[in-house]
Amino acid sequence: MAGAHAPNGSRNWFGSHIRSLRVSKKLALREMADRTGFSVSSLSKMENGHLAVTFDKMVMIADALDVELSHLLSRADAAPNGRRSVTRKGKGEVYRTGQYDYEMLCTDLAKKRIIPLVTKIGLRDLEEFGPLVRHDGEEFVYVLEGHIELHTEFYEPVTLNPGDGAYFDSSMGHAMTCRGGNGRVLWISTRPGRDGRGPPRHGEFDASQEAAAPPRIASAQRRVRGRRKLHETSAT
């Protein structure tokens, strides 16, 4: 599964969605690059469907655009309370990366507080997977098929069999592999803000997150925060 890409339809839709949100926010590619720490070239490839976007990068893009992750992954505009969504078997929005194959569920609803996914896990070990992934939020996985190895930063790897579940903090480095190379899990992800009602906004500063970020990303975050403070000072 390493090196896999999203089907053209889903990959092109997702890239176009990123571009339309960026344009609606009146952000140039260079400013978007500064906010995310990604290169302009990489962002352009993402927007044109030529580069798959892993989940942790989706989180960073959502923060840079100041939107909830569920909105970034949804085809719909916000709707009033009392909503309902049904995804029939095999009818979710499929997006493939080099690490997992995601089937995104209930994408017709925007601003969900949880992100439900059915995820295929094909990599057999961490050497194939690469560095552990980390981002803000909490996650729950429930094994549907296969024998899943859950790797986390502060714990020994644990084997999860069909019917087993695990809950963990997303900020802790994590990855899942499958010994047989053909696993499937129900994956629920949420990104609570400090008040527990939604993801942290782009303007919010969390020193612990910056300290844990890769040097280039942390540097980009500091540059954006500095420009924002300068703008606020000038405005007053």
Q: Look at domain 8-190 and name its CATH class.
A: mainly beta
Q: For residues 172-182, give the mean pLDDT.
A: 92
Instruction: Indicate if the pLDDT at residue 178 is higher than 90.
Output: yes
Helices 8-24 and 40-47: crossing angle in degrees, nearest 10, is 120
Q: CB 22: neighbour CB atoms within 10 A?
A: 20
Structural domain boundaries of the chain? 8-190
Q: Give the whole-number percent of the chain exceeding pLDDT 70.
A: 72
232, containing H or E segment: helix 215-235
Q: For residues 59-83, give the mean pLDDT.
A: 75
pTM of the model: 0.59
Those residues with Cβ within 8 angstroms of residue 19's Cβ, 6 or more apart along the chain or in another chain: 47
| The residue type at 32 | M
Q: Max Cα separation, the chain? A: 61
Q: Could you give the CA distance from residue 206 to residue 213 in angstroms, rounded to a whole number?
A: 11
Instruction: Indicate if the pLDDT at residue 56 is higher than 80.
Output: yes
Instruction: Indicate if the pLDDT at residue 78 is higher than 80.
Output: no
